[in-house]
């Protein structure tokens, strides 16, 4: 005896059992941390080095966007101290990535 549910995903109707719905609900609760240059730039003035809790506190006090807070909360808390945004987002571009030669100007 399965309760059947129809879900519309990208215009396709799918028949799912109650068990499958529970699995989908569990998977949908998993949040994926994503960073953009704009979001990461909100942490440039953070008090580095800092722990996860200190960064969250800074983000709240400085009025960072909700996405920054969500990303910080997604960090696995092992009591680590982060020295810069590169420790949180390894792909954060550095000045060398922009290929700007200051000596030319």
> Three-state SS string across the chain, please?
CCCEEEEEECCEEEEEEHHHHHHHHHHHCCCCCCCCHHHHHCCCCCCCCEEHHHHHHHHHHHCCCHHHHHHHHHCCCCCCEECCHHHHCCCCCCHHHHCCCHHHC
Model confidence pLDDT, tens digit, residues 34-56: 899 899 999 989 999 999 999 99
pLDDT digits (tens, 9 = 90+) for 61-105: 999 999 999 999 999 888 899 999 999 988 888 767 766 666 766
CB 72 within 8 A of CB 65: no
Question: For the whole prediction, is pTM greater than 0.85?
Answer: no
**Is the pLDDT score of 29 beyond 50?**
no
Cα(47)–Cα(34) distance, rounded to whole angstroms?
21
- Position 12 confidence tier, pLDDT thresholds 50, 70, 90: very low
Give the span between the Cα atoms of 2 and 16, in whole angstroms: 9
């Amino acid at each position: 005896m399965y309760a059947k549910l129809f879900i519309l995903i990208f215009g396709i109707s799918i028949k799912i059992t109650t068990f499958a719905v529970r699995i989908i609900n569990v998977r949908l609760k998993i949040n994926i941390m994503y960073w953009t240059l704009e979001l990461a730039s909100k942490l440039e003035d953070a008090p580095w080095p800092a722990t996860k809790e200190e960064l969250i506190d800074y983000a709240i006090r400085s009025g960072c966007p909700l996405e920054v807070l969500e990303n910080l909360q997604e960090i696995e808390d092992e009591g680590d101290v982060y020295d810069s945004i590169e420790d949180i987002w390894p792909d954060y571009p550095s000045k060398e990535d922009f290929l700007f030669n200051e000596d030319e100007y």
